[in-house]
Amino acid sequence: MNEGGILLIDKAEGWTSHDAVAKSRRALGTRKVGHAGTLDPMATGLLVLGSGPATRLLTHLVGLDKTYTTTIRLGASTVTDDREGDRIAAADPAAIAELLADAAAGGERIAAAVAALTGDIEQAPSAVSAIKVDGRRAYDRVRAGETVELKRRPVTIRAFEIGAPRPAVEPDGTRVIDLDATVRCSTGTYIRALARDLGEALGVGGHLVALRRTEVGPFSVADAISTEALSAGRTGPLLAPAAVARALFPELRLTAQEAVDLGHGKRFEVAPERAADAPLVAAIAPDGSLVGLIEIARGRTRVVTNFPTPDGGLA
């Protein structure tokens, strides 16, 4: 039985998430490949893909926390909130000098602005995003010359750690400040918007000049294959669906009969000493394969996500 699997890719700059999916389809020899969250072409780092039946896991991976390393440029704003967009404003050199002087004295202004953007906050996504406005992508409206203001939405910045601010210079000689940061955040957070909001809070504007995703939930870019290897048709071993499910959810070890019953959609009782009530539990067959993701409520099972079973049934 082919369960498919989860593939971790270290996306290179310039690649789209669609490029990674297309190359994975060729390397894996299957059309059934999906991803658990995209990355902009400018960004590098971890993409989580699924192939075959394991694509059914992806919906449960999209909501995982993400970790990024980034470089924020203070002192200039762009239409896209990153270095790929046209600059729309630059700070007064005196404001940059004052901010550098504050940084040299301990950086209280920047630290306070970072603290205000940490925790549960409301964030307006970047106007150049894939969010639809009246049926059209926001980035299409911006490219058509329209002004787009997206509604603020709640996100959680679990950690926003910064390095020492350092002077930098834009290609045209404009003096700015670069700030390296590590951000751990809830799904749906726009790091470009975080850079924009930090710059606005400091009165100098800001945008991203580098962005790398290093973690998605328990998955690390250190375990990912390169896009160079993917282009050459190499993928390495896939993460087994059962291993992924066990890393994310409580586990219920099934008997052989329970695996068959669950594979045919039957419910059964689970004693509390075997597994506690939980919205998602990994139901594992005696051979170690993933039979399904189930809910256990008041000691009774309910299938949430189907997976193929050895006898041809579906959980």
Residue entry with tokens 């980034």 = 70
Are 27 and 235 a contacting pair, CB within 8 Å? yes
- Does residue 277 have an active-site annotation? no
β-bridge partners, 185: 66, 157
Candidates 10, 19, 40, 197; catalytic one: 40
Contacts of 158 (CB under 8 A, 6+ apart): 65, 184, 185, 186
* Catalytic (active-site) positions: 40
